[in-house]
Amino acid sequence: MRKQMHVWRVADSVVGIRSVEIPLPESTKNRDAMRERFIQVARELIDNHDAEIIVPMGVTMVPVQYSPQEFEKELGVPVMDALKTSIQTAEMMVRMNLTHSTKTYPRPPAS
């Protein structure tokens, strides 16, 4: 994950990376424990590391099981919705007639 932060050039803005430590297959069975752990981990980042936004990795927790607004209300900082961000980024690229960089991601040679 830290390597990806450097690739995205946001490593200097990341104050911490934490896990809720509940395996994905158990997440739906332990919704209350997962929610409580998310709040605990996020609160620790906010209170002890001055986190200004919480960015859950993946979409299992936010927005699939919990709304970002639910956590924002309790934490007092924005909680990013990765699914919404991904969809809106794709929509923006289509509206602007943009594609990926062929310099970074070259097209495969024609067969």
pLDDT tens figures, 37-74: 999 999 999 999 999 999 998 788 898 889 999 999 99
pTM for the predicted model, two decimal places: 0.81
Q: For residues 81-109, give the mean pLDDT.
A: 92
Determine the pLDDT at residue 59. 82
DSSP designation for 58? S
Dist CA 93 CA 39 (whole Å): 33
Dist CA 94 CA 84 (whole Å): 15
Dist CA 37 CA 22 (whole Å): 9
More confident of the two residues 93 and 9: 93
Determine the pLDDT at residue 38. 93
